[in-house]
Each structure stands twice: as C-alpha cells, then as structure tokens.
Structure 1
C-alpha cells in the first residue's frame, strides 16, 4: 500500500512498539493517529510524526478499557481526521506471576484492555471499513498466545483470545475487502517488561532472541495493505510454536523448561 495520506490509527501508541509503528508509518507519508492514556507522551509522538510526514498528525487520549473513552475517540477520529485505512490494535499489558498468586482483579483489567477493549474499538472502526469496502486491521497478539509458559497464565489466555478473535474476524471481513493480520511477537525490548517483570531478569535471560521494536515496526508497516495472515517473530520461536502444535507432549516439556526464562 502507498501510505501517502492514508489514515493509520495506532492504539498503545505512546511508547515501545506502538510508538515505532507511528514513526514508520509517518516516514511513508501516512496521516498518523496515536492513541493512549498518557497524553503528554502521545503529544510528543504526534509532533514527531508530523515532522517525519510533513503533514498533520493527531493524538487522542484513550483508555481502551473504558467504553465511553472509546466512543469519544471514535467520534473525534471521524470528525477531525476521516475514514480509517489501517488500524493497529497495539494497546495491552502483561504480568508474569504464578496463577495461584494472581490477583484476579488484575486479571479482569488485563482482559478488559487486551481483549474486550480491543474488540470494542475494532468493531467501531470495522463498521466504517466494511461500508467503504477497504481497510486493514492489525491485532497485536503474542507468541504467548501460541505457546504458553509458566507465569503467563492470564497473559497467555488474553492472547489466545486475540488469536481466536482475529482468525474468525479475518474470515468475516474478507468478502468486504478488509484484511485482518495477527502480529505474534516474542519478547521485545520495550517498557512492557517494566510491569510484566519488574526484576528485569526475563529479558536478560533471553539474550539474543529479544526483538528490536524498530525492526518489528518496519515489518508491520511493510505489510500494510497486503493480505497477510500473520507476522511471527523471532523465527526461532515461530518454529518452536509449530513444533509445539505437532508434538504437544514434548512441547510441554520444552515450554516448562528450556523456554521458561521467567
């Protein structure tokens, strides 16, 4: 897709992967709309996007778990920006804890953000895409949604839900010429792990397979407008997830041992 003057909306666009997707789309001439809770940070992202694209960019404060906030942002996008060409559902968070120690109030928050809020926001955008008979939706899931490991019970459950939702949505929207792509990254060097693993040990233990958010963002933007089913990175973890599907008993052994670095 030639992104010149195309409207690209990114949730969770204040930092990390979302921020880099905004910049990469702006470099290619897109009109970027960044949405997140931290208004000061999305304001900075907006300004940098405008510098990169040489055109208007937008920043709207969004609490994806709050339906009223979603409704308000959807209205602002429609009134101030126009029809959305590409939606990247990137907002989400995780916490790595044993399930027996997990506060289920936190589990509810995780589902509200990672799953239900994403669905609500997507439905509002998808309606306009179907009407226009064009559009592309990217849902950021995770390798954790393909191969669960210890201490990721709730997070993996939310990402399994994102995968199932995306797979069905892809089939529903295809006749309307609206594409759905699932992004399944392994660990990315972002502030996601400040909350997920405050000790910092997880990324350190993983070493060379930790992903660079700029490279992942470039891969995602390269696929905008192309009917792509999934983006899986790193390749070694994609291979492991395929192996897991074929040999689940061995996969359980590996997921609980070799691949368990939390």
Structure 2
C-alpha cells in the first residue's frame, strides 16, 4: 500500500495544523479530532489555541497539544517539529493553514506588509513542509495539505500581493507533489473562494466584503470536512466551490473575457 493511503483512518494519527487558533485551521482541527486524530495545533495566539485544543480533546477523547509558533521565524518551526517528533510521535499529516491577506491595490501597498505576507504565506509553508517531510520521507508515509486560494488561480483587483503569495504556494506544491510521491507522501492543495472566517477582519478594511458577496461565501465547517475527508487519497487539488474550477479553465481559455469578469462582475472588494 502507498504510504499516504494508510492515513485514510486517522484514529491515533498525529495531525499538525498551522494557523489552528481560528478560521479554517480551527475547523480542520475539529474535523480531524472527530476522526480520532491526535491534533497538534500551532499558532501565535496561545490563549485561543489552548481553547481549540481543549475542544479537540473533548471531541476525540484523545490527546491534543498547543504550540505557540510564528511561522515567519524558521527556527521556531524547526524547534516545534523536532519537539513533536521526539516527544509526542511521528507527524502523519501536515496542514499548512497559517496565512493572512490584505485587500489593497499594489500602488498603495505597504511593502513591509508585503514582505511579511510572503514570509508567512509562502516561506513559512515551505519551511514547515520541508522539516516535516524530512521525517515523513524516512517512514515513507505522510500527507501534506497546503491551504492556497482560488486567488492563486484567478487574480482580481486589490488582491495583487495576496494572489502572488498563493500563486507561489500552488507552484511550490505542484512540484513538491511530484518530488514526494515516490516517497509515499501526498501533497494536496486546497483552493477555496471566500470563506466566512475572521481572515477578513484583517484582509477587508472596509468590513463589507462578505456582505457584498452574500451566499457566495463558504461555510468553514463544510470546507474543513471536505479537507479532512481527502486525507489518505491521491487527490491533487480541492477547489471550492467546485464551479470555480470551471471558471479557472474559462479564464485560461478566454483570457480577455477572464480579465473583464475578474475586474468587473467578480470584483466585489
């Protein structure tokens, strides 16, 4: 059996999730706990994270652990991975969810924030993936899930920097998938549209974006359920809502029409 297929049953498996203190990361933690996983939550906000892992313990009846980590600092990533591997057990599943965005046009963008966004959204994900995958490779078993975005497939105004980070995540993940497959490690990218989480507390300075798109926004619990369900499969991408995959294909086939739609009808920022 291919290594990652052994992870279809998560009972007693160790699932490490970055950005687990809120939003998608929090919901993925709960869904993994429902499957009996040992959840390792990583985030900067340790108080909120402790509440999340306490809930995971109640859900799973199993252990759960909180580690305060800033993924923009490589040494912190390396330390927590080694701590988990040496003191708790082998990391079977890695979910890279930590990230942030900001809706602002490129000419007005603070480049210090742009640099931090790349350190968190891209480099933090790369460091975490490498340090965890080195251990997974020794066991020839593992699953890596990188939370990207539909913004990494279809760029829209006021998302130039954020889209750039997610395009980078997709490029890295697509190559990583090919490199790790012979080692029994799967790599899945998740590309959701707007999800109703506190991500927009920072990203949307106007406070009106989710209201403007209404029913088009996604339920984070449903997205998280689909993500966890994909563990142990060979699926390479999860695009949500599913019609966005069709929109991406049309964008590539008809780029002028795609630009018109992305800059007009689909631009709600």
Please say whether Structure 1 and Structure 2 have the same fold, judged by a TM-score greater than 0.5: yes
SS in 2 for 1:85: strand
Identify the residue that residue 63 of structure 1 maps to in structure 2. 70
Does structure 1 residue 260 correspond to structure 2 residue 267? Answer: yes
- 1: CA distance between counterparts of 2:212 and 2:241? 16
SS in 2 for 1:139: strand
Does structure 1 residue 77 correspond to structure 2 residue 68? Answer: no
- 2: CA distance between counterparts of 1:81 and 1:25? 17
Match of 2:142 among 131, 135, 143: 135
- 2: CA distance between counterparts of 1:42 and 1:27? 18
Tell me by how many angstroms 1:200 deviates.
Answer: 1.7
Does structure 1 residue 48 correspond to structure 2 residue 46? Answer: no
Does structure 1 residue 5 correspond to structure 2 residue 9? Answer: no
Tell me by how many angstroms 1:97 deviates.
Answer: 0.3
- 1: CA distance between counterparts of 2:89 and 2:143? 15
Tell me by how many angstroms 1:241 deviates.
Answer: 1.2
- 1: CA distance between counterparts of 2:62 and 2:174? 35
- 2: CA distance between counterparts of 1:75 and 1:201? 42
- 1: CA distance between counterparts of 2:215 and 2:203? 19
Matches within 5 A, 1:232-243: 232-243=239-250
Contact 2:103 2:205 in 1 (8 A): no
Could you list the structure 1 runs, at least 4 aligned residues long, displaced by more than 3 angstroms after superposition.
none
Q: Which runs of no fewer than 5 residues in structure 2 stay unpaired? A: 1-7
Q: TM-score of the superposition, structure 1-length normalised?
A: 0.99
Tell me by how many angstroms 1:235 deviates.
Answer: 2.0
Tell me by how many angstroms 1:74 deviates.
Answer: 1.2
Does structure 1 residue 95 correspond to structure 2 residue 102? Answer: yes
Cα deviations across residues 105-125 of structure 1 (Å, max 9, x unaligned)? Answer: 000000000001110111000
Matches within 5 A, 1:129-208: 129-208=136-215
SS in 1 for 2:95: strand
- 1: CA distance between counterparts of 2:247 and 2:214? 17
Match of 2:232 among 225, 228, 235: 225
Identify the residue that residue 220 of structure 2 maps to in structure 1. 213
- 2: CA distance between counterparts of 1:224 and 1:237? 22
Does structure 1 residue 110 correspond to structure 2 residue 117? Answer: yes
Q: Which runs of no fewer than 5 residues in structure 1 stay unpaired? A: none
SS in 2 for 1:69: helix
- 2: CA distance between counterparts of 1:181 and 1:68? 25
Number of aligned residues? 262
Tell me by how many angstroms 1:79 deviates.
Answer: 2.2
- 1: CA distance between counterparts of 2:46 and 2:79? 15
Tell me by how many angstroms 1:225 deviates.
Answer: 0.9
